[in-house]
Structure 1
Amino acid sequence: MAGRRPCVAVVGGGIGGLATAIGLRRRGVDAVVYEQSRAVAPQGAGIAVGANGHRMLRELGVARRLQDSAVAPLRADFRHWSTGRRMVVHALSGAYEERFKAPFWTVERSAVQQALLAELGPEHVRLGARCAAVEDTGHGAVIRFADGTEAEADAVVGADGIHSAVRDSVFGPEAAVFSGTSGYRALIPMERLAHLPELAEPVLWLWLGPGRHFIAYPVAGGRALNFLAVVPDRDWLIESWSTQGETSELLAAFDGWHPFVTAVLAACERPSRWALYDREPQRTWSRGRVTLLGDAAHAMLPHHGQGANQALEDAVVLAHVLGGATPRTVTEALRAYEQIRRPRTRLLQAGSRKNAGCFQLPDGPEAQARNERLAALPDDLAWIHGHDALGLLGPASASAPV
């Protein structure tokens, strides 16, 4: 028994939690996901999967399941908020894939969740299991659930989001940091937008303007358009993807913007609205046999489009590190995982905060200087998209047999 691999309990059935369980089980580690909802429900709308995230999906055996629903935009097109003038454009097909050795995809978050769940197998997910507390017992870790039941494992991974119960239980409560902005999201069927010639090709649209910005891209195999509209809002403090906003509010917030933007917003029936929060980087993610992953460890604003990508990187690295551990060496493995991942996610948290202001400059010299910097974007972001999380682990990171 001394040489056996550890059993791992994963709290949270989102992208990070499901990916972690897949990675562990592919490496022969027993892993169970505990999800508080009664179903692995779709959350959010669309997400961007960069080359760095795509490599992780490929490693997990999940990329093939998304071939029909993912979209590979031809380019990232930065536009002036009112005139529609193209400020800069960067290829996202061909040159991008050649440089970073994987494609850039836009896809529904729910499609990624369902693909992960199908790969993992629903029999490895326990639903309706709301974590109330976690305790490191020295020889294991115990999850105590709200209904009074418990589960014990050699290690517990808190992948339960920005308001993580695992983090609060182990490290104590800490307030998230409010950005002073709200994000509106929605998925719009393309048939409602058939009158917009700009949508004839799959494009990642980024409209930058004073005090707010608007991003849109196709998902669901091109059958729907996802948008994110970010506006200043000191009074809206609800951080929830399920809270509804009003189309009239959006149209008022983007009054005077280019007709493409306002036409997309007008076609939206019920946008979700959520206050944008992140967290200060944690000094440590792990305590004994308990660690954190994804937003529970390093919640970041959406302005680098890297939240899901970083959860996938976390998951694969953690699976590879724990895959070589024994129950006796779990704590060392968790510390190693954290040491590998923390420096990168700290930089991305800071960069995501900085991008909010960069995207929302008023017309003038600062915006012009920003546009000139955008010309070098592929080089500036190469450290993100070109990152090979597995390559850093050396020969031991070779994929486990499927």
Structure 2
Amino acid sequence: MEAEGQARRALVAGGGIGGLAAALALARSGWSVALFEKAERFGEVGAGLQMSPNACKVLRWLGLYDRIAEGAAQPGAATMRDGHTGAPIYRVLLGEAAEARWGAPYLHVHRADLHAALLDAAREAGVELHTGAPVASYGTRPEGARLKLEDGSIHTGAVLIAADGLRSPLRRVLNGPESAHFSGQIAWRGTIPAEWVPEGLVAPEATVWAGPGRHLVTYYLRGRSLVNFVAVEERAERVEEDWSGAGEADRLRAGFAGWHDDVQTLLAAVERPFVWGLFERAEQVRWCDGPVALLGDAAHAMLPFMAQGAAMALEDAAELVRALSEHPRVPDALLAYEAARWDRVTRVQAQSRSNGMLFHKRTEIGRLFSWAPIAALTWLAPGLAAAQLDWLYGHDVTEGLP
């Protein structure tokens, strides 16, 4: 690499899960890392994350799995039910079956717990953490990247990783003006103390309740002390893309009126949900510009219907370190990173869109033709049903990494 010192300095924009994972992975591999977060302090809103086996493999590589697993909930299965009748449509065993088939468990994790673990590990690894530091733009130079913050200060390094989220300022510098259009769907989310709902109401599984124009996902967090919910409904009224937007519980309940009694009982316990609009963006023309690369949502925003957003960001961090270790020149390494990730994340994006359409079938005939084959496969050939996820959950991006 170019000149000593600067040649091993990395800049990371964004202190979310992707940014912290990248900063930690880089620091652990010998880089001097400075991370810049726009918020005045680090923190995450209360919400759940599904850490599928491919994500848990990255957590193991980062040395965080034991801490995360200690406070997580482990579902016994992933299920899909008819939102009105409760009839089972799809079921794949997780728990011990996930470890046996895909090489790692499937966990439900509180987002704040994962964020705190990454933040603590980054501090311990010597990452410089700067808060209240929104990024504005970047430039490139023969010896590396130049990051400009909104306050006018300049920071330099051999590599700049833009993990600055869905509305990434650095992505706009790299790719020019962009358009994001409202998908016609909104998402509600929140957590409920498990003691607020009748015992046994929520199965210890990752459950999707599916129905015309909407679906509800439920699962436990923090050793089954919290119930996490994510409810998505199609709506013409535009809602801003703000994860911390306050929603009205009565409007949430109204959207699922007439659904199964278990759904009604659960939503009756919701007090203060968050609500945000789901937006779609055109695929990025490129992720890289010399010593600059996008990572996580900044690179490949996706609809949440595969529960893979955080998992893909974690995988990005591992593949980034691999590429930088295998290619002496940073620009070559970043192009290799992009090439290694492109097909996989594009497939996840496409499957996420497809799942949204599958969950929301509006007509009985549409549900029959879409759901009946899935149900038949699940009950008649459960092994074959699980095999449909081998490409995703069985993948180990850390294989061969020290």
TM range (shorter): over 0.9
Name the residue aligned to 1:161: 165
Give, in whole Å, the separation in 2 of the partners of 1:390 and 1:66: 18
Give, in whole Å, the separation in 1 of the partners of 2:353 and 2:137: 31
Give, in whole Å, the separation in 2 of the partners of 1:319 and 1:34: 19
Q: 2:256 aligns with which of 229, 254, 257?
A: 254
**TM-fit CA distance, 1:77:** 2.3
Q: Is the contact between residue 179 and residue 282 of structure 2 (CA under 8 Å) also seen in structure 1? A: no
Amino acid at match of 2:253: L
Distance change (3 Å), C-alpha of 1:44 and 1:307: farther
Give, in whole Å, the separation in 2 of the partners of 1:124 and 1:368: 55
Distance change (3 Å), C-alpha of 1:12 and 1:345: same
Name the residue aligned to 2:401: 398
TM-score by length of 2: 0.93
Amino acid at match of 2:119: L
Matches within 5 A, 1:82-231: 82-121=84-123, 124-193=128-197, 195-199=198-202, 202-231=204-233
- Structure 1: which 5+ residue stretches go unaligned? 392-396
- Residue-by-residue CA offset, 1:315-364 (whole Å, 9 max, x unaligned): 111022223454xx000000000000011111111111111110011352
Distance change (3 Å), C-alpha of 1:108 and 1:384: same
Q: Is the contact between residue 136 and residue 169 of structure 2 (CA under 8 Å) also seen in structure 1? A: yes
Secondary structure, aligned partner of 1:118: helix
Name the residue aligned to 2:397: 389
- Residue-by-residue CA offset, 1:177-232 (whole Å, 9 max, x unaligned): 32110000001111111x14233x52111101111000000012211011010001
Name the residue aligned to 1:379: 387
Give, in whole Å, the separation in 2 of the partners of 1:183 and 1:269: 16
Give, in whole Å, the separation in 1 of the partners of 2:160 and 2:2: 19
Secondary structure, aligned partner of 2:223: helix
Q: Is the contact between residue 186 and residue 233 of structure 2 (CA under 8 Å) also seen in structure 1? A: yes
Identity of aligned residues (%): 36
Q: 1:297 aligns with which of 278, 296, 299?
A: 299
Q: Is the contact between residue 142 and residue 150 of structure 1 (CA under 8 Å) also seen in structure 2? A: yes
Secondary structure, aligned partner of 2:253: helix
Q: 2:283 aligns with which of 281, 284, 303?
A: 281
Name the residue aligned to 1:369: 369
Q: 1:26 aligns with which of 8, 25, 28?
A: 28
Name the residue aligned to 1:45: 47
Give, in whole Å, the separation in 2 of the partners of 1:232 and 1:2: 51
Give, in whole Å, the separation in 2 of the partners of 1:223 and 1:99: 28
Name the residue aligned to 2:311: 309
**TM-fit CA distance, 1:2:** 4.8
Moved more, 87-96 or 227-236: 87-96
Amino acid at match of 2:75: P
Q: Is the contact between residue 29 and residue 323 of structure 1 (CA under 8 Å) also seen in structure 2? A: no
Give, in whole Å, the separation in 1 of the partners of 2:395 and 2:221: 24
**TM-fit CA distance, 1:125:** 1.2
- Structure 2: which 5+ residue stretches go unaligned? 379-383
Name the residue aligned to 1:394: none
Name the residue aligned to 2:331: 331
TM-score by length of 1: 0.93
Distance change (3 Å), C-alpha of 1:377 and 1:229: farther
Name the residue aligned to 2:381: none
Structure 1 segments of 4+ aligned residues over 4 angstroms from their partners:
1-5
Give, in whole Å, the separation in 2 of the partners of 1:196 and 1:258: 17
**TM-fit CA distance, 1:76:** 1.5
Give, in whole Å, the separation in 2 of the partners of 1:177 and 1:381: 30
Size of the aligned set, in residue pairs, is 390
Name the residue aligned to 2:348: 348
Give, in whole Å, the separation in 2 of the partners of 1:55 and 1:127: 29
Name the residue aligned to 2:64: 62
Name the residue aligned to 2:73: 71
The CA RMSD measured in Å over matched residues stands at 1.7
